[in-house]
Amino acid sequence: MQSIDAALAAINALKPNEKLVYSQIAKKYGVDPGTLSRRHRGISRSRQAAAQNQQAVHPQHEAELIDYIDRLTKRGLAPTRSIIRNIASQLAQKQLGYHWVDRFVHRNSHLVILKRTTPIDRSRRRADSEKKYQLYFELLRQKIDQYKVEPRHIYNMDEKGFMIGVQSRSVRIF
């Protein structure tokens, strides 16, 4: 808890018949008496509270956007900057600037990250499904059993050398 918040809590804890002296409480908590007085009377507020009112997208909507990014990422569909900006623009009901996503990621750096991805070609994307993986491993098991292949004769092969139709890298948000 910040000193100013502790001082405000002390003021709110005073009994109705106790005398309120801002300078004494401010000195005790190491805050400016004028700031404490203005904050207590509701004339001013913290920088964080003021900044929240200046945000284009309400913090609650940003939390929902983070949940949406998480759901997309878990499905293997990490959104691009433009997707995030379009969704946020709909939430804010106004067009957001190009750098809004950068500020969003910075504000929520403990929850989301920007990362360059290497895209997979179209045929690999079409082949990427749970059912196709199951079929592949069932067929592999049949062939291993049929030809009595021992584990010491099984090798891993890097398919990167065979990628055809590679797309350019893009920045995704996870």
Per-residue pLDDT of 31-47, as tens digits, reads: 888 888 888 887 877 76
Predicted confidence (pLDDT) at residue 156 exceeds the cutoff of 70: yes
128 part of a folded domain: no
Say what the pTM is: 0.47
Q: Which of 17, 36, 52 is the last residue of a domain?
A: 52
Q: How far is CA 81 from CA 64, 126, 169, in A?
A: 16, 24, 13
Give per-residue pLDDT as tens, 85-106. 999 999 888 999 989 999 899 9
- How many residues make up the chain in this entry? 174
* Same-domain pairing of 95 and 82: yes
Q: Give the residue from 112, 140, 159 where a domain finishes.
A: 112
67 and 107: one domain? yes
Number of domains in the chain: 2
Domain that holds residue 96: 55-112
Shared domain for 70 and 26, answered yes or no, is no
* Radius of gyration of the chain, Cα coordinates, nearest whole angstrom: 28
Q: Which residues pair with 173 in a beta bridge?
A: 114
Determine the pLDDT at residue 53. Answer: 62
Beta carbons within 10 angstroms of residue 68's beta carbon: 14
Domain check: are 63 and 41 in the same one?
no
